[in-house]
A and B are shown apart, each in its own frame.
Chain A
Amino acid sequence: MPESRSAAKPLLTVEHLRKVYESSTGSVEAIGDISFQMNAGELVVIVGPSGCGKTTLLKCIAGLLRPTSGVVELEGKRVTGPPPNMALVFQEYGRSLYPWLTVRGNVDLPLKHKKLSRAERDRLIDDALVAVGLEHAAKSYPWQLSGGMQQRVAIARAVAYEPEVLIMDEPFAAVDAQTRADLEDLVRTLHRERGMSILFVTHDIDESVYLGERVVVLSKSPTWVQEDLSIDLPADRDQLVTRALPRFTELRTHVYEQIQRAKRGEAVRPGATAA
């Protein structure tokens, strides 16, 4: 990693993570052996072939699932349950926002136990809603909004929570292409202007290259890290300019080939034996 801050401790460490699902019909090894690190202020994108256990990995990192073996550490502390300094944005925005609360109520809910004054909470909520461009919709209910706007509410909720790390699980898979481009730029803006550390999971190769400073390519299940690729595109990204760069095309092609190799199972896990 060329840009790694060698002295700084990594924000998030995943070490030899393995997850086996036990079921009545036998056990399924979803994740084989995943190790990677993420520094504070980084935007890391995880991309992999479909069904490669991306969501399982995220749930293990978020403390929602217990890994079979291996360690997840956030700021040097081992994750055993959902850590308080982490926020999640799910793919299913319709099921992650509470329909009985207004937009404002949804953003406010995780702040309730943060022991902040009413004024401080209001400031955080207003600030987050402005950041995602929804200040006019505070009193609406989520179901009165379009899909893209609902996902913005979920992002605002995470922003107001002021987490150390923001985890996004295929957040734009269910919105249309134009909205998606807007939301990608929103994520870039949050990362650039607020210095948020974001771990972004997607199955979209273009999206991974466009968003990430690093792209972690996963193999097919049982999953391991096939490549940890640093994206040397200018930090200022633009849907038209960046995507037209020759370097963008190169990186995109590279990741695409990696994914194809992953799907065919051609890549060989380093250190893995025939067993």
Chain B
Amino acid sequence: MTLYTSTVVTPRKPSRVWAKIGENTAYALGLPIILLVIWGIWSSISPAPFFPSPLVIAEAFVETWIGPAFVNDVLPSLARLGISIVLAVVLGIAAGTVIGLVRWLRELLEPIFEFFRAVPPPVLIPIVAVLVGANDTMKVVVMVTGAIWPVLLNTIEGVRSTDSVMTETAQSFAITRSERLRFLVLPAASPRIMTGVRQCLSIALILMVISEMFFSSSGLGYQIVFFQRNYLIAQMWSGIVLLGLIGVLLAVIFGFVERRVLRWYHGVKEVERA
């Protein structure tokens, strides 16, 4: 009947994939290494008590964090952080989907959201501590109350702006509610949702540290504040470095998940740009 061109995707050769990974690694590590070298040289030229050399910090890092502190402070912090992120993402997406789909609920809740969103979660710490006690639950609650907002608001917006033709398509094929949620509403909102999750991660990390500054005797945040107050400068820096590394780890995990979830989205964008 007619001639068809075959599809345009051809897989990359494996050798080129490795070359690409090598190149990406060089780009990712290049600047940090250069900055460390500059810092190292600078600190040996003019030593300052509050800015020890990277080698001193590295030594303090190994001493401080590799050992019992990892199990007693770092792991519990990471566990609370992980639970809070999962809770914030799940609750945010679930509530955001409902609110995004139900118009009257959205109009009812949005002004209140503006109010609660403006309240900085750290000021809630004493209140939450009174309500649930000064324990892990308190820390998780504080992290979730801060980190849920970007997920919630982005989900609402993403769900609300589902394309009208796509919705009509689903309606015309009499696709059921649950199918519509799973195959239309959530995937259509997923780019916005992932934007919210990205912001949620950094807020959760900040609140992890802050939530451990009050009523605590362990945890990464507590340790860093402890080192600061006791002028253990190299140890304090090593804690800050560890926080940064956790941030990088979160970003890597996020990037991995995002590439999977939004593969189609990046594909569409690439086609549009071409």
Tell me if A173 is interfacial: C-beta within 8 Å of chain B: no
Measured CA separation A197–B168 after assembly (Å) = 21
Q: When the two chains form the complex, which single residue of A87, A96, A112, A137 contacts B165, counting CB atoms closer than 8 Å? A: A96
Q: Residues 186-214 of chain B: 1 if any A CB is under 8 Å from the residue's CB, otherwise 0?
A: 01101000000000000000000000000
Chain A positions within 8 Å of B264 at CB level: 99-100, 141, 143
Q: How many residues of B contact A (CB 8 A)?
A: 30
Count A-side interface residues using an 8 Å CB cutoff. 39
Name the residue on B nearest A86 (C-beta). B172
Bitwise, B141-178 to A at CB < 8 A (1) or not (0) is 00000000000000000000001011011011111100
**Cβ–Cβ < 8 Å partners of A198 in chain B:** none
- The answer to whether A109 and B165 touch across the interface, beta carbons within 8 angstroms, is no
Q: Decide if A90 touches B165 in the complex (CB within 8 Å).
A: yes
Chain B residues within an 8 Å CB radius of A149: 4
Asked if B1 and A185 sit within 8 Å, CB to CB, the answer is yes
CB distance from A204 to the nearest CB of B (A): 19
Q: How far is the CA of A92 from the CA of B2 in the complex (A)?
A: 23
Q: Which residue of B lies closest to A189 (CB)?
A: B1
Give which listed residue, B163, B174, B179, B265, contacts A84 with CB less than 8 A: B174
Known contacts being A101-B183, A141-B264, is A87 close to B172, with CB within 8 Å?
yes
Across-interface contacts of A90 in B (CB, < 8 A): 165, 168-169
B8 close to A (CB within 8 Å):
yes
| CB within 8 Å of A: which B1-42 residues | 1-2, 4-9
In the assembled complex, the CB of B145 is this many whole angstroms from the nearest CB of chain A, namely 31
Interface hits, A122-154 → B, CB 8 Å: 133-134, 136-137, 140-141, 143-146, 149
A182 to B190, CA, bound (A): 36
The reply to whether A133 and B171 form a contact with Cβ atoms under 8 Å apart is: no
8 Å CB interface, A168-215 against B: 182, 185-186, 189
Residues of A close to B271: CB separation below 8 A: 143-144
> What 5 pairs across the A-B complex have the smallest Cβ distances?
A110-B173, A95-B165, A88-B172, A100-B187, A100-B264
7 A-B residue pairs with CB within 8 Å: A96-B166, A100-B265, A109-B175, A110-B173, A134-B4, A146-B5, A182-B1
